[in-house]
Amino acid sequence: MAFNVQEFKKEYTKKFEELFAYGYDEGSTTERFIALGDLVRGLYTEEWKSTVEDYIADQSKQVYYFSMEFLPGRMLKSNLLNLGILDCVREGMQELGLDFDEVARGEVDPALGNGGLGRLASCFMDSIASTGLAGHGNGIRYRYGLFQQKFVNGYQIELPENWLRNRNVWEVRKENKAVIVRFGGQVNLAADEDGKMTVRYENTRNILAVPYDTAQVGYKNGVINNLRLWSAEIPYGEEANFSTVEERDDVMRITEVLYPDDSNYEGRLLRVKQEYFFSSAGIQSIIRYFKKLKLDWNQFPEKTAIHINDTHPTLAIPELMRILLDEEGLGWDQAWEITKKTISYTNHTILQEAMERWPEGMIAELLPRIYQIIAEINRRHIEKKIPIYGNELAYRTAIIDQGQIKMANLAIIGSHSVNGVAQLHTDILMAETLHDFFVMYPQKFNNKTNGITQRRWVQIANEALTDLLDDTIGAEWKKNPLEIRLLKAFREDEEVLEALETVKLKNKQRFADYVLKTMGIEIDPTAIFDVQIKRMHAYKRQLLNVMHILDRYLQLKDDPSLDFPKRVFIFGAKAAPSYYYAKEIIKLINAIADLINNDSTIGDKIKIVFVENYGVSLAELIIPAADISEQISLAGKEASGTSNMKLMSNGAITMATLDGANVEIRDNVGDENIFVFGLKSEEVQSYYRNGNYHAYDIYEKNPRVKRVLNMLVDGSIPGIEQEGRDIFDSLVKFNDEYFLLKDFDSYIAAQYSADRIYADRGKWNRMALMNIANSGPFSSDYTIRRYADEIWKIKPKS
Ligand code: Z16
């Protein structure tokens, strides 16, 4: 993008005055950001428009990524970076006497997702545009994002996240592209003049779905795709069949707030309304686009791929069927072939409690026509499979079972591709969780290991590392992330290793400043920064981390002269508001932090920092500062993990169980550049199957475990009477579902070897270097290329 500093300064000054009627020097940070964002959006609208026009002119195949969640993070810097004008704007702002980073922080971070799944969707949007693919997001414009987390007396409390309180400069409301989504009512058959039967919906509640579009700017390639988020509104004119105020309120409620549950299913009516709302709106707008091309319906899958991110958008399948059958007049078989060829599905979890299933009656009442179609898909599926696989297998794969509609079953049967998100996860799906389906449709199953965009997670979050890389290996890695492997040549280069240490120290200092300012805790930037950042969940085992902290604390109390490097344990985690146990662990960690941070007898050998309101923006601050990346879920439970990839890309060394993508990280960095511990997935499976795990025995026989766990119930940690007892019981009395006690010894041993190596700075720096150098394969650019080649069958724009 041709643009110079002088021009920028002029444009910015003008834009600010136009918007606010006074000079930028008088403006607030928010206003300064709004003026900048507004200016930047204006810079790319031309290319945004022409990208769409080119797609239509070339009739290129489009992929639509349907996701209930997107977590883009602040967009100012990523847009500037991808437009190629980040440096220019930074310089211009500085010359205007403005602090660019501060202005950038004036943007609200849109928290329209819970965690990994939503952030993955946003990495994918960035990679789709940046690799030149015609792909767009489809989701919900929640009025309120994921709750803001505060700690009060160590307890999590949730506050509404009103992310639209200031103007959203990036979105464009497209009222003329609105569609109607219908709920309720009855389905009737009616004959027209020639006796042809048509399906009529009567007495439906009609809701207007209004799209808000946000540009997805590709990295220096002129491609600008679209993220379309739908908002529910009351229709005008004939469609406005509402009578009471309550009915109106109901409409507004659909896109009011994001459900705050990560990997946990809650069978709420409003949730399924949200799911149908954005699935239907998305399908309708795709069909409208396809019709402009004036092609035959059989060409629909040649021109369209629709990807459903987890089962949340699965109603896209019967919705596509409905439109093809009822509105376009196709026969069942043709419609079904088109649907299956168009749709593909990603599974993100094997946790049973996360599997979506809806009561038949609920769907029949809310979406009568969709229910009929699901029932017919189910009927045909069973009828077809019985002769081949027998009754038992056929019924085990049924969509409707015991009055429930199983969304994963519908997603698998109604699509041509089912993928897991790391090799181990996909293997478990095929061998265990979805084995029945694997027997029926082996060709549908495939793996697509997750990835991350180094543009955000290195170039934007870690400018110091970016500069060092550029100076050391050149800038090719930015276009071609695998080229970061060139860094390996410098593994014995003292100067580079020291420079790497300096970069890390600088990032640790930056985070330490934040911690001092926001929490009043002083931390030493030369200490080991040991980081666990992810949703709070029992299977992720933050509690194992806690056990290590308590053990270390006890060792130090016994012998204050013990010589190991100082450590700062850094946590960031939100708990689902209804997840009681997760909230108890939050309270526990905060109580331990209070105890240890204020214990002068251990000096600052151990510090604990539990940041409030962890999210994308805080991740950008924490990840570059991390030395150790805690990836300690019970083997077999974490589908992939993606913070593991972000942390390794920033030179943190992984403390890992062989779970999710950790396995592939180990394969890439080699055993000597990672700390691996704990049970393997097969061992866990075998314990579950044989029922021969006895946590109580470990508690009785392992004095270190016993001492640590007793701390939970003997009053040594003030303020956790209830929590300490509950957590103790979950481990000792209820047999420790996630094998913390079993993995304790090997975890502690791995932590001690980390201590020893950290003391050898050269060695540690070399390990950090090798992690960075081997992070290229985890770029979402490659993940997306594999989705494009193997599932979506689309090619980059040349
Ligand atoms: C989610 O973030 C994930 C799974 C799920 O069923 C629901 C939500 Cl909201 C996560 C997985 O836990 C994680 O392992 C994975 O890396 C991520 O999805 C992206 O695939």
> Which pLDDT tens digit goes with each residue over 608-621?
999 999 999 999 99
Comparing 240 with 304, the larger pLDDT belongs to: 304
What is the C-alpha to C-alpha distance for residues 221 and 1, in angstroms, rounded to an integer? 10
- Residue 438, judged by CB atoms within 10 A of its CB (0-12, 13-18, 19+), counts as middle
Whether residue 441 lies inside any domain: the answer is: no
> Which pLDDT tens digit goes with each residue over 66-106?
999 999 999 999 999 999 999 999 999 999 999 999 999 99
Q: What is the pLDDT of residue 320?
A: 98
> What is the b/e burial string over 173-210, where b = at least 16 CB atoms within 10 angstroms of the residue's CB?
eeeebbbebbbebebeeeeeeeeeeeeebeebebbbbb
Query: Does ipTM exceed 0.90?
Result: yes
> Of 241-250, 260-269, 520-529, 788-797, which range is least confident?
241-250
Point out the domain boundary residue: 386, 416, 446.
416
What is the C-alpha to C-alpha distance for residues 674 and 667, in angstroms, rounded to an integer? 10
Residues 227 and 365 both lie in one domain: yes
785 within 8 A of 791, measured Cβ to Cβ? no
What is the C-alpha to C-alpha distance for residues 446 and 426, in angstroms, rounded to an integer? 7
Task: Give the CB-side neighbour count of residue 651, counting CA atoms within 13 A.
Answer: 31
Region label for 556, one of left (φ > 0), alpha (ψ between -120 and 50) or beta (otherwise) = alpha
Best CA proximity match to 608, nearest among 626, 588, 590: 590
Q: Is the pLDDT reported for residue 2 higher than 70?
A: no
Best CA proximity match to 455, nearest among 444, 466, 447: 466
Mark whether 341 is an active-site residue: no
What pairing do the DSSP bridges indicate for beta strands 404-406 and 400-401?
antiparallel
What pairing do the DSSP bridges indicate for beta strands 675-676 and 653-656?
parallel
In terms of residue numbers, what domain contains 119?
59-68+112-416
Mark whether 540 is an active-site residue: yes
Q: What is the pLDDT of residue 192?
A: 74
Q: What is the pLDDT of residue 480?
A: 97
**3-class state of residue 797 by DSSP:** coil
Whether residue 425 lies inside any domain: the answer is: no
Mark whether 534 is an active-site residue: yes
Residues 269 and 354 both lie in one domain: yes
What is the C-alpha to C-alpha distance for residues 510 and 502, in angstroms, rounded to an integer? 12
Q: Is the pLDDT reported for residue 195 higher than 80?
A: no
Q: What is the pLDDT of residue 528?
A: 98
Mark whether 449 is an active-site residue: no
Amino acid at 579: Y
Whether residue 423 lies inside any domain: the answer is: no
Q: What is the pLDDT of residue 786?
A: 98
E-only strand ranges, 410-559: 418-420, 445-447, 528-533
Q: Is the pLDDT reported for residue 302 higher than 80?
A: yes
> Which pLDDT tens digit goes with each residue over 441-456?
999 999 999 999 999 9
Mark whether 583 is an active-site residue: no
> What is the b/e burial string over 95-125, where b = at least 16 CB atoms within 10 angstroms of the residue's CB?
ebebebeebbbbbbbbbbbbbbbbbbbbbbb
Name the DSSP letter for residue 119. H
> Which pLDDT tens digit goes with each residue over 674-713?
999 999 999 999 999 999 999 999 999 999 999 999 999 9
| Average confidence (pLDDT) over 197-220 | 94
> What is the b/e burial string over 365-384, where b = at least 16 CB atoms within 10 angstroms of the residue's CB?
ebbbbbbebbbebbeebbee
Residues 206 and 323 both lie in one domain: yes
> Which pLDDT tens digit goes with each residue over 102-148?
999 999 999 999 999 999 999 999 999 999 999 999 999 999 999 99
What is the C-alpha to C-alpha distance for residues 340 and 363, in angstroms, rounded to an integer? 22
> Which pLDDT tens digit goes with each residue over 377-417?
999 999 999 999 999 999 999 999 999 999 999 999 999 99
Residues 401 and 469 both lie in one domain: no
Name the DSSP letter for residue 634. P
Residues sharing a CB contact under 8 Å with residue 123, sequence separation 6 or more, in sequence order:
451, 452, 453, 456, 642, 780
Residues 94 and 130 both lie in one domain: no
The proportion of the chain whose per-residue pLDDT surpasses 70, expressed as a percent, equals: 99
What is the C-alpha to C-alpha distance for residues 415 and 417, in angstroms, rounded to an integer? 6
Whether residue 589 lies inside any domain: the answer is: yes
| CATH code, 501 | 3.40.50.2000
In whole angstroms, how far apart are CA 2 and each of 44, 48, 94, 219? 12, 16, 19, 15
Both structure tokens of 605: 């050998």
> Which pLDDT tens digit goes with each residue over 457-513?
999 999 999 999 999 999 999 999 999 999 999 999 999 999 999 999 999 999 999
Residues 664 and 633 both lie in one domain: yes
**3-class state of residue 201 by DSSP:** strand
- Residue of 534, 587, 607, 637 marked active site: 534
Q: 737: CA distance to ligand 1 center in Å?
A: 20
> Which pLDDT tens digit goes with each residue over 721-766?
999 999 999 999 999 999 999 999 999 999 999 999 999 999 999 9
Q: What is the pLDDT of residue 249?
A: 80
Residues 99 and 159 both lie in one domain: no
Nearest protein Cα to ligand 1, atom 13 = 641
What is the C-alpha to C-alpha distance for residues 81 and 109, in angstroms, rounded to an integer? 17
| Nearest atom in ligand 1 to 425's CA | 14
**3-class state of residue 546 by DSSP:** helix
Q: 639: CA distance to ligand 1 center in Å?
A: 7
Residues 318 and 195 both lie in one domain: yes
Whether residue 798 lies inside any domain: the answer is: no
Residues 620 and 635 both lie in one domain: yes
Q: 638: CA distance to ligand 1 center in Å?
A: 8
- Residue of 77, 340, 348, 508 marked active site: 348
Best CA proximity match to 485, nearest among 770, 273, 159: 770
Residues 43 and 121 both lie in one domain: no
Count of structural domains, the chain: 3
| Average confidence (pLDDT) over 516-540 | 98
Residues 376 and 461 both lie in one domain: no
Which residues have any ligand 1 atom within 6 Å of their CB? 114-117, 120, 262-263, 310, 348-349, 354, 421, 450, 638-642, 660
Both structure tokens of 607: 């510090």
Instruction: For residue 301, name the pLDDT band (cuts at 50, 70, 90).
Output: very high
